[in-house]
Amino acid sequence: MREAARHPKGALFTVLLVAAAYLALLMVFGRFAHTDEAFFKAAGREWALHGRFAAPELRGFYGLQPPVERVFFAQPPLYPFGFGLLVAAVGFGWRACVAYDALIHVALVLFTFVLAKRLSGSATAAGLSACMVLPLGTSSRPDELAMCFAMAAGLAVLRQPDASWRPIAAGVFLGLAAGASVGVAIVLGFGVAVQLLSGAPPIGRRIIRLVLCGVAAALTVAIVAAPILAAHPDAYRQYLGLASSQVGSGQWSADFQSAWRYGKGIMVIEAVCLTVGLLALMMRGSFRQWSESWLGAVIGVAFVALLLPSKYTYLWFVGPSLIAACVALLAATQTTWARTAGVVALGIGWILASTGFAWQTITMLTLPREQRIAVSERRVRALVPQGATVLAGEYWWSLAADRAVLDSYFAEYSDLSAIDYIVLTGNGTGEPGKAQPLKDSLDGVAAQEFVVVDDHLNRRPVTILGRRLTNSAWGFGALVMRNRRVSDGTLR
């Protein structure tokens, strides 16, 4: 580590080596599909394969107008558009889905390295921060792509916002962040605003910097949205309709309990980082110096916790910045007991936050051969003929290239008569051999109108020393059901 501290390229090479191993692991063994997989990627797949920026897999979603099967603008377009570019280059399938998110995550790790190096001046601290971020995060969502843009905005003005081009550059990057996730742009934008309003110049000049940044961001968002709105001027109604249905719903206590249940790991490590930062403020007493690294993150966390407590994934927005700031602070701490206590607390928080990645990795590596993704995918594709209309969730990425897939999570499918096949896994059901339920209690209808043609659900949960890692028996084996009207397996 001392060698890495003297030679920044050595620390960066170490990070790149670990990131390469991470990518190789995912590309060989894959990962489990996320609930949001089709929602955020479907429009990109459709654009790459058929030239329409629309999401037929989500037909009827929330009753939005215009419908998402005509044009998709329920979320900003950069993430699905980027996925479409990848699909156009390499084709559509599970590896494209996995690679897209993995490459974005590696980019986020590298941004964390640069930020930590800037904050601490230490390549060792930068490398440690980057490696800590690697097993954390949220895949299959636009969050981390937006976080990369927002971190670039923060780096553009960090401790040197005076040059006139820097606020404009930060605004462009924030606009790109909003083009992927408005939530990320808001939450991480607080940190950019803190940097722009800090320093010695008169308050008027600082406000001008903030205005320049805001104008550049607004123009960038307009450019990102222009292609869709030019072709579909009413598409903005989709975004507003979905946003109005999500913001302000629920009760704070219930939402926070839900967030704690699913996001406790990230919440713990960020709480540790914030505690270390606040202790540093009390011990050093320089609010201006402290605010450069911490104030924006504190405001961002408070914004999510108070206004969007159910959105536990949103807490990850500030995670890399907090980890980088915390490691940089501990690296600069001269008091041995304080540094030791901080390192131990941060280490415990990181271990807890990393358990999800460790669990998934162990599960993927120990799956029986017949439950691995490549084998199971061949089995399902042999059973479901090309051109079939399929109701599926996780198997979207294996079937949507040449089958018409309706997403079992988000599409409106109250009538199953138009469905030829149903393909479900048992992941997350909590009971080995039990398939994921359909919406609106349609399991009974499916049992009457469909016949099971293959049940390859995993019934052997992963165990270590005789103890289950999960109540579900995770795997890629599927329950495949065929509509009785397709009695001989021939589509009509």
The string of pLDDT tens digits covering residues 139-178 is: 899 999 999 999 999 999 987 766 778 999 999 999 999 9
288-323 in b/e form (b: 16+ CB < 10 A) is eebbbbbbbbbbbbebbbeebbbbbbbbbbbbbbbb
Q: What's the confidence (pLDDT) of residue 258? A: 63
The CA angle 317-352-432, to the nearest 5 degrees, is 100
Residue 126: phi, psi to the nearest 5? -65, -45
Which of these, 256, 257, 157, lies nearest to 216 by C-alpha position?
Answer: 157
**pLDDT, tens digit (0-9, with 9 covering 90-100), for 449-460:** 999 999 999 998
Q: Among 347, 323, 333, 332, which Cα is nearest to 151's?
A: 323
pLDDT for 441: 80
Mean pLDDT by 10 residues, the chain (492 residues): 58 95 95 93 97 95 92 96 97 96 98 94 94 94 97 90 82 97 95 86 85 96 96 93 69 61 80 86 72 85 82 88 92 85 92 91 91 94 94 94 93 89 93 89 87 94 78 91 79 58
Q: Is 389 helix (H, G, I), strand (E, B) or coil?
A: strand
Q: What is the pLDDT of residue 480?
A: 96
pLDDT at 8: 65
Residue 256 is encoded by which pair of tokens?
């926070």
pLDDT at res. 318:
93
Q: b vs e for 329-341, b when ≥16 Cβ sit within 10 Å of the residue's Cβ?
A: bbbebeeeebeee
Going 476 to 477 to 478 to 479, the CA torsion angle's sign is negative
Q: Which long-range contacts (CB under 8 A, 24 or more apart) does 54-61 make?
A: 56/404, 57/396, 57/400, 57/405, 57/406, 57/407, 57/410, 57/411, 58/407, 58/410, 58/411, 59/406, 59/411, 59/412, 59/413, 60/411, 60/412, 60/413, 61/410, 61/411, 61/412
pTM of the model: 0.92
Give the pLDDT of residue 112. 97
